[in-house]
Chain A
Amino acid sequence: MTAEHATLPVAARVRRLEERLIGAGLVTGEELDEILARYLATASPVNGARLVARAWADGAFRERLLGDANTAVKELGLSMGGGLQEQRLKVVANTPRRHNVIVCTLCSCYPIALLGPSPGWYKSEAYRSRVVREPRAVLAEFGLRLPEDVEITVWDSSAESRYMVLPLRPPGTEGMSEEQLTGLVTREGLIGTAAV
């Protein structure tokens, strides 16, 4: 076994690997195309945003989402079961006294179905190493400065649960429709590096 192939330009390495795996009958080109197409079409932070908007608008749904998120998301036609294995979804609610932020220090686990592809910063060693140790400083780098009396909980996704933050509903949004509320929610808000 040599490492020669590791010095090929990476795209060539990938092509070579793909050819060998297809040649060995382990995958088909169609399968790969279908996986990509489905992923790109379905995984989006708009899904998480819709859940948040519904929870803001409907207190009973909020309680169901916080109590059993895997079941509650189905009410909006969403599912945690579309990927390689159904993961347990846990939604954690921000309050005026507590702010939540999510990380996977060991790799980059993340609820892709509800948040879309994970951003580079979430996967970085800098975020993964620092947010568990100095979350307030990390959030400040994102422009989120929390009052000192707001406590922070960092959730490290080290096993089979995936986490999503339910941000606080911003003031002045009382008259908004659910669709308008959905538009307020960002991916950073769902991870906890923004207020919403």
Chain B
Amino acid sequence: MAVSRINDVGGQTGFGPVPLPERDEPPFHADWEARVFALNSALVRRGVYTLDEFRDAIERMPPQDYLAASYYERWLTAIETLARDKGVVAGE
């Protein structure tokens, strides 16, 4: 049986019904989500990291953290991880 990273969910059972479409869903549910979106765009555009490195950073989250995190919380964690890994921000 093949094993893979936690993001690789195609065919996995147990996730239940698909969430219903949200009426007039806004692009972001909170200001911080929009800031995270913008931060990622800016950092990729500037060449600080690639989109592939970004996806890899999300995939390296511990499985239970990945599943518990919201979509943009995953993005935030990935940016924090890459900022640390690349030494652009002091580790803490």
Contact = CB atoms under 8 A, between A and B. Distances in A.
Contact of B92 (A5, A119, A142, A156): A5
Contacts of A133: 10-11, 13
Given A1-B84, A26-B88, A32 B25 contact: no
B73 A10 contact: yes
Contacts of B83: 17, 20-21
Interface residues of B, number: 51
A17 B51 contact: no
A124 interface: yes
B4 to A, nearest CB: 9
B32 A11 contact: yes
A52 to B, nearest CB: 19
A63 B62 CA distance: 46
B39 to A, nearest CB: 6
A13 to B, nearest CB: 6
Interface of A: 1-2, 4-6, 10-11, 13-15, 17-18, 20-21, 24, 26-27, 31-33, 35-36, 39-40, 84-85, 103, 105-108, 116-117, 119-121, 123-130, 132-133, 138, 141-142, 156, 188
Given A17-B80, A103-B10, A132-B10, 19 more contacts: A1-B84, A11-B31, A15-B32, A17-B79, A21-B39, A21-B83, A26-B48, A27-B42, A85-B51, A106-B8, A106-B55, A108-B71, A121-B19, A124-B19, A125-B12, A125-B67, A129-B9, A132-B11, A188-B21
12 contacts: A10-B32, A14-B39, A20-B89, A24-B88, A24-B89, A26-B48, A36-B34, A39-B27, A40-B27, A117-B25, A128-B10, A129-B9
The 10 A-B residue pairs whose C-beta atoms are closest, nearest first, are A105-B10, A117-B27, A126-B15, A32-B38, A129-B9, A14-B32, A11-B32, A129-B12, A27-B42, A35-B38
